[in-house]
Amino acid sequence: MKRLFITLKDIGLKRIFYRLRYEFFFKIDSKFPNLWLHSNRSIIKKPLWKKNLLELNLNKNILKKKNNNLKNIKFTFLNETKNLIFPINWNNKNWSRLWQFNLHYFDWGRKWIDEGLENNIWNKKIFMLESLLDQWIKFNPTGFGDGWHSYTLSLRIKNWIWFFRMFPNLATKKRIDSLWLQICWLYKHPEKCHGGNHWLENLTTLVIASLQFDNLSSKKIYKKSIFLLEKELSSQILNDGGHEERSAAYHLLILDRLVEMAFVIQITNNERPLWLVNIIKKMTQWAHLITLENDQIPRFNDSCKDICSDIKVIKDFAISYIENKENSLSGLRRLLSKNNQKEFKKFKDYENKKKVINLVDTGWILFRAGNGWEFIMKCGKSCPNHLPAHAHSDLFSFDIFKNGRPIIAECGTSVYGNNLKRKYERSSNAHNVLALSKKDQLKSEKVNWCEPVDVWANFRAGRKANVIKKSFKEYKNNSFIISVSHDGFKSIGVLYERSIKLSKTKKNEFEIILIEKIICKNELIGNQIFHFGPNIDKNKYTPSIKSSKLIKNMKQQWINSYYSYGFGNTVPRNTFIFSFVLPVGMHSIKSKISISSL
């Protein structure tokens, strides 16, 4: 009950009111769609589709081939393949909700187009688009099922627009009427209550979609949406350029959407809003700063690479817009940028030669020691108080990479949903941290660890720790020291500080010395956790540990765990755990790991 109260308190009365209002009207309108259609008839009627606008197609006749004998189609989402029999059941209770969401997105159709444009070889599935569009319209009446969720609407609306612009013969009256109806539903049911990436997704879609039509309603939607987007970005994008949810993957997803929208505004309105250009620059600079070797990205919070396109693709797309030039893009991104070739204007602010990157507002610090060694640590705010949906209990967790390969790395994200796997992946135990609990938990089958970020359910969090101290220093001999402390163990009477020293002793060698300082008022149990990357030989890298004399019941063990490469895609790896009992008093634990070869 206490964690629920803290969660609601952090969300705030205003947002709770927005959420209740959103849920109320969504449920009423979904239950009585005819009433909703009648009350909004003035905005829904007469969708005037702008023909010959944003012409992206290379072959107008490519979809004239008919296939009337369609029986089934296979889709693979979240590394799970299903064979769907026609007509498709778009709302199957036996599927995971996220898998079903992916079906409704129609991102798979855009992927077919991108692949066809890149290779000039069209997947035979592209000829199913016409049937799939009509099936969706027929079996997803207004307000019914996950297809009318505001997030799935946002993605599908954009994808349908690309289909109709690529293949004008797909833009029949029935499909255009359905598209406009979906836009109007989204406009009336936005996720303002949630904020974050969902709200931005709604707004960027409404801006793009409203520009495809020419009526009073579309002009009203555009004017309101672009105003709200500017206001929301000024709040959600941090001073250092990061997004407030502090997930590299969601940051990149938002940047990708903004650039896409910016291109559409420029092509259709011949405008480049200065505030939008500046936001895209700021977010692109941040993306360059956090890019790891081999185009890997930090894994803090929910940052599954499946969420977004490759970071290099997104950065190139953003630079193409900023500099008004076509670069090494492919698919629809290349077609959008080709419509905008203007005078070349080099933007040089992406160069990053610093060894230490301190992203103060995002709360991350990176140390690049050379020869492909990279260290990144989370030592700041975990999430906005009102929006903990993608937060993990990973404060002071760190990852170490060599040429983009994970050497010491947290679990990552492989699943959404209110389940045990999701609970584990958000918890301290899935990260490279110190875990503490009261001693009375020692003999419990399930230890109730004190989480600095009290994550619970699928997308909730109660108490959120504050960073008390952070200091760091870089030395000329390729070494780096950081000391940090937080108040996340205050509820069990603990003062806590973590210090890490990193040294590149020789070519291709790396040494980590980690010191935990703990002052406790009660007897505690603890685990110091090191998650190693896949295929790392545990026999070579067992940490050397020294502790103060008062610490009791010390035990070292290797356990089997897993590393997530994406949704539904995990591989086995080894985790080292040093467990102990802490009597009342002051304690220190010093761990040393030397990585000499791989």
Q: Give 545: exposed, middle or buried? Use CB within 10 Å, 0-12, 13-18, 19+.
A: middle
**pLDDT at position 400:** 96
Distance, CA of 561 to CA of 567 (rounded, Å): 16
Q: Which of 61-75, 247-261, 397-411 has the lowest mean pLDDT?
A: 61-75
For the question of whether the overall pTM of this predicted structure is more than 0.75, the answer is: yes
**pLDDT at position 476:** 82
**pLDDT at position 118:** 83
Residue-wise pLDDT tens digits, 377-426: 999 999 999 999 999 999 999 999 999 999 999 999 999 999 999 999 99
Distance, CA of 578 to CA of 582 (rounded, Å): 13
546-553 average pLDDT score: 89
**pLDDT at position 66:** 55
**pLDDT at position 571:** 97
Token couple for 320: 């193409």
Which amino acid type is present at position 25? F
Total residues found in the chain within this entry:
598
Task: Name the more confident of 440 and 287.
Answer: 287
446-459 average pLDDT score: 93
458-465 average pLDDT score: 94
Tell me the average pLDDT of the chain.
Answer: 91
Distance, CA of 322 to CA of 278 (rounded, Å): 9
Strand pairing class (510-520; 552-566): unpaired
Band the pLDDT of 507: cuts 50, 70, 90.
low
**pLDDT at position 344:** 43
Helix axes 107-119, 150-166, angle to 10 degrees: 30
Residue 349 scores a pLDDT above 70: no
Distance, CA of 580 to CA of 460 (rounded, Å): 30
Contact between 482 and 377 under an 8 Å Cβ cutoff? The reply is yes
Residue 518 scores a pLDDT above 90: yes
3-state SS record for 493-509: CEEEEEEEEEECCCCCC
Residue-wise pLDDT tens digits, 102-131: 999 999 999 999 988 888 777 778 888 999
The angle subtended at Cα 226 by Cα 221 and Cα 230, nearest 5°, is 150
Q: Which of 116-120, 426-430, 516-520 has the lowest mean pLDDT?
A: 116-120
Residue 489 scores a pLDDT above 60: yes
Q: Residue 475: which of 494, 496, 449, 501 has the closest Cα? A: 501
Query: If you compute the radius of gyration of the chain from its CA atoms, what whole number of angstroms results?
Result: 26
Task: Name the more confident of 565 and 121.
Answer: 565
Which residue intervals of 214-269 are DSSP H helices?
216-236, 248-269
426-455 average pLDDT score: 89
**pLDDT at position 447:** 86
Could you give all domains of the chain from N- to C-terminal order, each with its CATH number? 1-235 (no CATH), 237-353 (no CATH), 356-595 (2.70.98.70)
Task: Name the more confident of 61 and 84.
Answer: 84
DSSP 472-491: EEEETTTEEEEEEEESTTGG
